[in-house]
Each structure stands twice: as structure tokens, then as C-alpha cells.
Structure 1
């Protein structure tokens, strides 16, 4: 792969995600990120997804996928191309990923079991209150305000934050692995979001805990687990019934041998949690 092929074939969003960089603000064609080389409170890196380039308003620097890797890894062009080579996999590039804002400037004040009435009511509205031991109550400070929400821990120590009004990530964005021993069938169950995972655990309780669970927390993070998924004899998918979910399913089906699409169970609903709520009521 040469420089021109890298610029044309590899999406700049994917490379930013590989360095755990996510949009602060975005629309379908452009987004603003925090700068690559300094701390800041107002994002100054403008990314054009159509042109596959970025511009730093603070320094006046332009970036493509090659110079972005050079900036992050402090490396030569040839070393950057070597890094980019692993992303030149067509089926993994085609997913139109759904993102959740990664928040950097925050302070977690307290982590505890779920006690706040509003959070209890929210869990009950999603029909997963019985699984409250799998999430935590997070008291945090953001933009001068003290807030509370349900938190779901990921593998990098970040928290997926949810309440009736909020959908963000505090800290580094990552997937969440839940490993179980023994894994009799060498199976992994994959969910997009943790409410789908909680719904599944609520529906099956303990009898299905012999498999491993993978909660992507964003389909954009699929690249992080593509090698790990090779270790399983069976991959069971509980993805959303929308365009993004179908593309993610097709990506996994094209890359692995034994894949089961479990979304057929809730084919008339957006996702598993929505189906489970309807089923319980």
C-alpha cells in the first residue's frame, strides 16, 4: 500500500478511533475533535469526513491519515504506512458507525451501587432493574455541574454513562469483556450496548453465563476485537435491527466462520432491549 492508496482507502475517522479519539461535536460530513498535540477545553481540530482530512485551527496544520499517524506516533512516512496497513481491510471499513461522545474534562466524585430513585425508575422503565448489580451509580462533575447517572465500566476504566437525558462516555472509550469459566461451548455473545446485555441477562438469568459476553459500547470499536474473536468456535450476534447493525453483522459474518444472527428473535423491534420491554409488559 502506497501513500495515495492509504489516503483513498482508509477513513480518517477509523484512524482517530484507533488512538481513542472521538468527536466532541459532529454531523454527517464534519466533526470537531480535541487537538492531537495539546490539552484544550474547546475542540479545535476540524475533521472533514468527505475529504478525509483534518485541519487544526490552533496551529494551522493540515492532516491526512498518514500525517495524522506521524503526529500521534512520532514516526516516519514508511512507519505510518506500516501502521495503516492493518486497517486496509475492506469489510471492516464499510460499517457506518454510531458514536457516543467521549468526555475528557470531568471529575468522578463517587461510585456506588444504584440508590437514586430516578435511576431506579429508569432501570425499571428499561425492564432491567434486576440486573442493577452489573452497573453502578456515578456522581460526577462536568461543565461546572454535579450530575448523576448509571455507569457501565469498560475495559479501559472508562464509564458508559446513561440516564433519561444523557448518553456519553467518561474517560477512554473501549469495549467491555465479560469472561466466564468454564466456557463450555467456546462461545461469545456480542451486544452493541449494555442495555441489550442487561436485557439478555435478565431474560436468561444465570443459565447462560457459561458463554463470554462482549459489549461493543460502539460498533466503531469492532476493530479492537477482530483478533480476539478468532478464538471462539461460535459467535452469537445480538445487534440492532437498523442499517448500522446489519452492516456490522455482515462484517462479522464475512470475517468469521461460525456466526449466528440472534436478532431474528426481535426482528420487529429496534434492538433487544426494546423487544424485551415489550415482552415483559
Structure 2
């Protein structure tokens, strides 16, 4: 990868995390970190996750992922590129921007049980129509036009919205924790999206699993769950078989003791839902 591709495709959040640097405070698009070159009590480094850049309000210096590595390690550009070459995944900044819907105005009009024929047909096409108790039918207005979709609630009271044509989040982006009992289980299963989670609900009895579940709703949201994940004795991964899924899986395997990667079960498919759909259609 050349310099420009590195700047565009390596996540600045992941680079900072590789040096054990985490935000002091954040919102959906930006976060504040302590400065890279000095100690301070009030964080002055503003990181823009969509632009994939940072700006130090204390010094007026701007950073990209290459200059971040240079500042922290005091290395040359070539040495920084060598370090960043180990980040073997791609972050689609535009997709992330669309997912978090940073400043889009919207209004939720109605939240109800899933009844609309188009939404039932969508769930049928994904072979998860038995699991409607986990989702809602959400009608909303955006930019003066009315829409509806399958809604899955996250822990910030936002809704992940899906239908045949739409993938977005209404409200704050966050993870969704599902506790299967009043007492925390020893095991937790981790999913990228709620359609994968619904697929798991259809097959969990076959594997005698009664674990808690974590739906990330985006691989970028892993940082929201890292502290709670430490409380579990075992983590079961049902992540996608793509670059982002594999990167998050490797990160979790490195940071936690007992991790089982169940993606081998659907290793020839993009995700557990693709595998489940083909398995159902083959019956």
C-alpha cells in the first residue's frame, strides 16, 4: 500500500488503540484523546473517525495515521509505513459515515409489531421470520419523506434499521447486550449484526447454548463492549468472514483468554446468515 491508500484505509482509531490510546470522551463522529506529545489533564486531540484524521487544539498540528505513528514512535515515514502494513484490513470510511448517520434529521412516527407484508417477506428471505419478538416495525420520516423498516434496538435507544433496500441507524450508534437470565452467564456469543443474531436464535438449541449475546451493530463499536467482555469466562465469536470480521476476531483472541471462533462452521460463506439461508433452502 502507498501513503494515500494507507491514509484512506487504515482506521485511525485502530492505530491509536495499538498504542493503548483510547478516547476520554466521544460522540458518534469525533472523540477527544490526550495529546500525543505531552501530558495534560484536559484532552486536546480531536479525532474525526469519518475523515480519519486528528487535530491537536493545543499545538494546531494535524495528523493522519502515518504522522500519528511518527509522532508516537519518533520514526521515519518509511518506518511508519512498515508498522501500518501490519494492519491487514480495510476500513470503508464512506460506509462508516453512512452507518452512523451523524447529523441526519429524522423523526420516528410509529413503533409496532412487524406486520407489513414487505417486511415479513424480507425476514422470510433471510429465514428469520420466527424471531420477530426481537425486532419491531419502525416507521420514520427523514428529509421530509416517510419510510419503514425492521428495527433492532441498541443500548442507546437507537434503532438499527433494515429492509430490502436500507441499512442505517436512527439515533446514537451502540451495541446491544442480550442477557439470557437475571444472572450473568459464563459465556457470551458475539455477532456483527442483528440478522446474524436472529439466525443464531434459530439454531442455538442444536448446540445446547444458553449464553448471553452481544450484537456489535458495527465492528467499529467493539470498544463499547471491551470492559464488559472481560467479565465472561468464555467468548464465542460468530463474526463475518471478511477483513473487518477477521480483524475484530484476531483482536478479541489476543486480548481475552478463552475465545472460540465459530466462524469455521460457515467458513465458505460471508456470514452465519448466508450459511443458514443456504442450509434451509437445501432442506
Give 2:260's aligned residue: 260
Q: Distance in 1 between matches of 2:49 and 2:280?
A: 45
Q: Which residue of 1 aligns with 2:165?
A: 165
Aligned to 1:76: none
1:190–1:236 CA contact under 8 A, matched in 2: yes
| TM-score for the superposition, normalised by structure 2 | 0.69
Q: 1:95 to 1:216 in 2, by over 3 A?
A: farther
In the alignment, the residues of structure 2 paired with residue 273 and residue 9 of structure 1 have an alpha-carbon distance, to the nearest angstrom, of 31
Q: Does the 8 A contact of 2:204 with 2:210 survive in 1? A: no
Whole-angstrom distance in 1 between the partners of 2:174 and 2:184: 26
Q: Per chain length, whose mean CA-contact separation is higher, i.e. which structure has more relative contact order (CA < 8 Å, sep 6+)?
A: 1
Counterpart in 2 of 1:102? 100
In structure 1, runs of 5+ residues without a counterpart are 1-5, 24-44, 55-60, 66-89
Cα RMSD after superposing both structures? 3.4
Q: Deviations over 1:52-96 (max 9, x none)?
A: 346xxxxxx98659xxxxxxxxxxxxxxxxxxxxxxxx9xx8864
Alignment partners' CA distance in 2, 1:279 and 1:168: 28
Work out whether residues 180 and 209 of structure 1, in 8 Å CA contact, stay in contact via their aligned partners in 2: no
Change (3 A) 1:15 1:144: farther
* 2:27 maps to which of 17, 20, 36: 20
What is the distance in 1 between the residues matched to 2:258 and 2:14? 32
Aligned residues: 220
Match of 1:27 in 2: none
Q: 1:166 to 1:267 in 2, by over 3 A?
A: same
Shift of 1:21: 2.0
Of the candidates 7, 11, 16, which is equivalent to residue 10 of structure 1? 16
SS of equivalent to 2:240: coil
Distance in 2 of aligned mates of 1:46 and 1:251: 19
Separation in 2 of the partners of 1:128 and 1:8? 33
Deviates more, 1:183-192 or 1:124-133: 183-192
The 3 A distance-change label for structure 1 pair 46 and 174 is: closer
CA distance in 1, matches of 2:207, 2:15: 44
2:243 counterpart of 1:243: yes
Instruction: Provide TM-score, normalisation by structure 1.
Output: 0.69
- Partners of 1:122 and 1:97 lie apart in 2 by 28
Q: Distance in 2 between matches of 1:238 and 1:16?
A: 27
Q: Which runs of 5+ in 2 are unaligned?
A: 1-11, 31-47, 65-83
